[in-house]
């Protein structure tokens, strides 16, 4: 089924009153589809990000997307989807951080802080240079996400990335987790610790980059972290942790896309998605306080 | 859980050197671990015991030869019990989840694969019925027992133990002893780094004293004499110090 057919189907259901009226607009259907595709993947991958203590790293990769966009415009890519530069720069950034992390005596947060600052400085400088070339306000979409700009190409990128990441993440889930518990034990169990370390970095990066269009460079890392953090607060087993994180991320993505349109709120989709995730996190914390007390 | 019988390998360490930066951690370490033996390695902190294990596991660059001689056609199962695992204590991870992460391919969040015998392994370490407890909420001794349980899945032919008794209470020590007896009966080779010399004397079939180099190697009853132990745990082994002190005198006599 092509996106066109699926879109027409959903629009038809919305027209018949089976779905929210806003979904009669094709752009909103695109945004909803991208949220439904990427939400569960971000939620699932987020459990590993939180367990491996890579929350700051995933935020940094998201922020690096800003520089990737600037480079893309500089080299002549369309500002609506400079994917070659986005993927290229963010992958380079992520791999360089990981490579240096394994070889310096700095703690991860210090090192990521240095790389993040330099990358943002580079991105900001390039964007100011490019200010005369493009309407700089269009970049707000890149920073905070927009439901208006998701087209079939973006959906295809999201779908390919989501399927690829899921196909790698699920069979390697245990091994990725084990490598963070005890590398020596993992190696004895046949886990190629260093290789998986890099693979995980790549997975986080491509998911982040593919989600930039809908969530925005500033906030994309948050959807990897907040739903998983909320799930970690209330779950009592790995199954609950994973499934709740997937559910929270999906609900936040769908709510953040639909609610601003339904309620006519002038809020960017990225902001709304992360606010929805934040509310879920708050709810999870409250649920924990109520059910288990302060020490829970 | 079926244990394979008599498949434990022999291990040969031949003139193994390991240097970190400019510090020699192991110097010309030569040891032979017999198939099916309970071979203990004792020595002071910083004496190179854990480094020897890392070298054996292929995780520390070293010079010299480390060879595993497996009986039969191919290598068997190697299990490792580390001193501890690093993880977020608040992680929603049950004991069964932890075993599933280690032992199965199917994603652990889909639930434990019961065919792998997690319950039986936990029962063997006295943790029966505790599979659903949160791993981070266990006591140090209980976590150590779970680390022992993971080493039983699948049944090992070689088991490498890095100070497994550190956090064990009295009951845990008894369970460890019975586990060791079961593994020995199954022909498993056991390489055991330990600091508790009394336990080594009781349970090991052979002991090597390691303080950067091998200071003694033989049956525990013969090797763990007060004099040998004093030598091993001295900053400068006494006999080496005596030998060095006697050198000028020897030179004077020679001249």
Residue B138 lies in a domain: yes
- φ, ψ of residue B66 in degrees (nearest 5): -125, 120
Task: Please state the ipTM of this predicted complex.
Answer: 0.85
Distance, first Cα to last Cα, chain A: 48
Region for residue B252 given its phi and psi (left: phi exceeds 0; alpha: psi -120 to 50; beta: otherwise) = alpha
Residue B4 lies in a domain: no
State phi, psi for A224 to the nearest 5 degrees: -80, -25
pLDDT of residue B245: 55
Does any domain span residue B66? yes
For residue B109, give the DSSP letter.
G
Per the structure, the count of domains in chain B is 1
pLDDT score of B247 = 57
The pLDDT, as a whole number, for residue B56 is 94
Of B184, B233, B242, B223, residue with least CA distance to B43: B233
Q: Domain of residue B27: give its range.
A: 10-254
- Which of A161, A260, A257 is CA-nearest to residue A202? A161
If one compares A251 and A268, the residue with the highest pLDDT of the two is A251
| Per-residue pLDDT tens over the stretch B60-77 | 889 999 999 999 888 899
The 3-state DSSP class for residue A272 equals helix
pLDDT at B254: 46
Taking the C-alpha atoms of residue A185 and residue B44, their distance in angstroms, rounded to an integer, is 23
| Ramachandran bin of B21, using left for φ above 0, alpha for ψ from -120 to 50, beta for the remaining angles | left
Q: Is residue B2 part of a domain?
A: no
| B43 burial via Cβ count (<10 Å: 0-12, 13-18, 19+) | buried
Cross-chain residue pair A53–B88, CB shorter than 8 Å:
yes
Q: Are A181 and B143 in contact (CB under 8 A)?
A: no
pLDDT, mean of residues A237-260: 95
Beta carbons of B92 and A225 less than 8 angstroms apart: no
Question: What pLDDT, on the 0 to 100 scale, is given for residue B237?
Answer: 54
SS (H, E, C) B128-175: CCCCCCEHHHCCHHHHHHHHHHHCCCCCCCEEEEECCCCCCCHHHHHH
* The token pair that represents A164 in the structure block: 């690829």
B223 in any annotated domain: yes
What's residue A43's pLDDT? 95
Domains of chain A: residue spans and CATH: 23-292 (1.10.3470.10)
Question: What does the pLDDT read at residue B2?
Answer: 39
In a domain, B3, yes or no: no
**Signed CA dihedral, B190, B195, B200, B205: sign only:** positive
Q: Could B102 and A174 be called an inter-chain contact, meaning their C-beta atoms sit closer than 8 Å?
A: yes
Region class of B84: left (phi > 0), else alpha (psi between -120 and 50), else beta: beta
pLDDT value at residue A127: 83
Of the pLDDT bands very low, low, confident and very high (cuts 50, 70, 90), residue A249 is: very high
**Considering only alpha carbons, which residue of chain A is nearest residue B51?**
A184
Say whether residue B109 is in contact with chain A using an 8 A CB cutoff: yes
Q: What is the mean pLDDT of residues B233-238?
A: 66
User: Which residue among A170, A232, A239 sits closest to B111, beta carbon to beta carbon?
Assistant: A239
| Cβ-based contacts of B135 with chain A (< 8 Å) | none
User: For B106-141, how does the pLDDT look when each residue is reduced to its tens digit (9 = 90+)?
Assistant: 999 999 998 999 999 999 999 999 999 999 999 989
Q: What is the pLDDT of residue A227?
A: 96
Do the beta carbons of residue A165 and residue A207 sit within 8 Å? yes
Size of interface A-B (CB pairs under 8 A): 85
pLDDT given for residue B6 in this prediction: 66
CATH number of B93's domain:
3.40.50.300
At B211 the pLDDT is 92
Smallest CA–CA distance, residue B101 to chain A, in Å, is 5
- Specify if B248 maps to a domain: yes
pLDDT in tens, B28-57: 999 999 999 999 999 998 889 999 999 999
Q: What is the predicted pLDDT for the residue at A296? A: 44
The answer to whether residue B240 scores a pLDDT higher than 80 is no
User: Would residue B5 count as lying in a domain?
Assistant: no
Q: What is the pLDDT of residue B1?
A: 40
Tens of pLDDT along B142-182?
999 999 999 999 999 999 999 988 878 888 889 999 999 99
Q: Is the pLDDT of residue B81 over 60?
A: yes
Strand order of the β-sheet with B78-81 is B78-81, B158-162, B189-193, B38-42, B206-211, B213-218
**B21 in reach of chain A (CB within 8 A):** no
| Helix (H/G/I), strand (E/B), else coil: A214 | helix
Tell me the average pLDDT across B233-241. 62
What number of other Cβ atoms are within 10 A of residue B44's Cβ? Answer: 16
Tell whether the model's pLDDT for residue A16 goes beyond 50: yes
| Averaged pLDDT, A116-142 | 82
Structure tokens at B72: 């039969």
Q: Are A179 and A191 in contact (CB under 8 A)?
A: yes
Distance from C-alpha of B99 to C-alpha of B88, rounded to nearest angstrom: 16
Check pLDDT > 70 for residue B193.
yes
pLDDT digits (tens, 9 = 90+) for A174-230: 999 998 888 889 999 999 999 999 999 999 999 998 888 888 887 888 889 999 999
Do the chains contact at A178 and B110, CB–CB below 8 Å?
Answer: no
- Least CB-CB distance to A173: which of B88, B94, B107? B107
Instruction: Please indicate whether, in this complex, the C-beta atoms of A187 and B97 are within 8 angstroms of each other.
Output: no
Give mean pLDDT, residues A14-23: 88
């Amino acid at each position: 089924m092509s996106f066109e057919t699926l879109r027409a189907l959903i629009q038809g259901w919305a027209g018949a009153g089976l779905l929210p009226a806003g979904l009669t607009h094709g752009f909103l259907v695109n945004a909803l589809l991208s949220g439904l595709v990427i939400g569960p993947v971000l939620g699932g991958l987020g459990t590993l990000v939180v367990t491996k203590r890579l929350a700051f790293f995933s935020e940094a990769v998201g922020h690096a997307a800003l520089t990737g966009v600037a480079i893309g415009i500089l080299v002549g890519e369309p500002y609506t989807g400079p994917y070659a530069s986005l993927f290229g720069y963010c992958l380079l950034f992520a791999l360089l951080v990981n490579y240096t992390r394994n070889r310096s005596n700095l703690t991860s947060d210090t090192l990521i802080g240095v790389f993040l600052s330099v990358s943002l400085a580079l991105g900001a400088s390039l964007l100011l240079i490019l200010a005369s070339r493009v309407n700089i306000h269009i970049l707000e979409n890149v920073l905070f996400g927009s439901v208006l700009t998701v087209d079939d190409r973006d959906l295809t990128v999201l779908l390919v990335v989501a399927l690829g990441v899921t196909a790698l993440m699920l069979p390697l889930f245990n091994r990725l987790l084990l490598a963070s518990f005890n590398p020596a034990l993992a190696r004895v169990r046949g886990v190629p610790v260093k290789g998986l370390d890099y693979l995980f970095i790549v997975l986080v990066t491509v998911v982040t980059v593919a989600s930039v269009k809908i969530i925005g460079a500033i906030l994309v890392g948050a959807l990897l972290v907040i739903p998983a953090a909320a799930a970690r607060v209330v779950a009592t087993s790995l199954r609950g942790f994973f499934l709740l994180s997937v559910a929270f991320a999906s609900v936040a993505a769908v709510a953040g896309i639909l609610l601003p349109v339904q309620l006519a709120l002038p809020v960017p989709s990225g902001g709304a998605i992360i606010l929805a995730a934040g509310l879920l996190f708050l709810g999870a914390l409250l649920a924990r306080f109520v059910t288990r007390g302060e020490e829970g | 859980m079926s244990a394979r019988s008599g498949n434990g390998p022999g291990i040969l360490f031949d003139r193994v050197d390991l240097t970190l930066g400019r510090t020699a951690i192991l110097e010309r370490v030569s040891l032979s671990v017999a198939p099916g033996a309970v071979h203990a390695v004792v020595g002071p902190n910083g004496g190179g015991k854990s480094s020897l294990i890392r070298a054996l596991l292929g995780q520390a660059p070293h010079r010299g030869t480390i060879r595993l001689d497996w009986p039969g056609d191919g290598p068997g199962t190697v299990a490792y019990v580390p001193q501890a695992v690093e993880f977020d204590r608040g992680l929603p991870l049950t004991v069964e989840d932890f075993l599933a992460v280690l032992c199965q391919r199917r994603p652990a969040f889909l639930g434990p694969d019961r065919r792998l015998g997690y319950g039986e392994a936990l029962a063997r370490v006295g943790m029966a019925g505790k599979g659903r407890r949160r791993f981070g909420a266990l006591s140090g001794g209980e976590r150590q027992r779970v680390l022992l349980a993971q080493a039983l899945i699948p049944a090992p032919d070689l088991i490498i133990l890095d100070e497994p008794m550190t956090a064990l209470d009295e009951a845990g020590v008894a369970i460890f002893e019975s586990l060791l007896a079961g593994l020995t009966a199954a022909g498993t080779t056991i390489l055991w780094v330990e600091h508790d010399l009394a336990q080594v004397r009781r349970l090991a079939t052979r002991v090597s004293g390691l303080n950067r180099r091998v200071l003694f190697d033989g049956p525990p009853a013969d090797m763990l004499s007060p004099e040998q132990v004093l030598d091993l745990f001295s900053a400068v082994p006494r006999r080496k110090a005596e030998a060095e002190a006697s050198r000028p005198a020897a030179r004077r006599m020679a001249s």
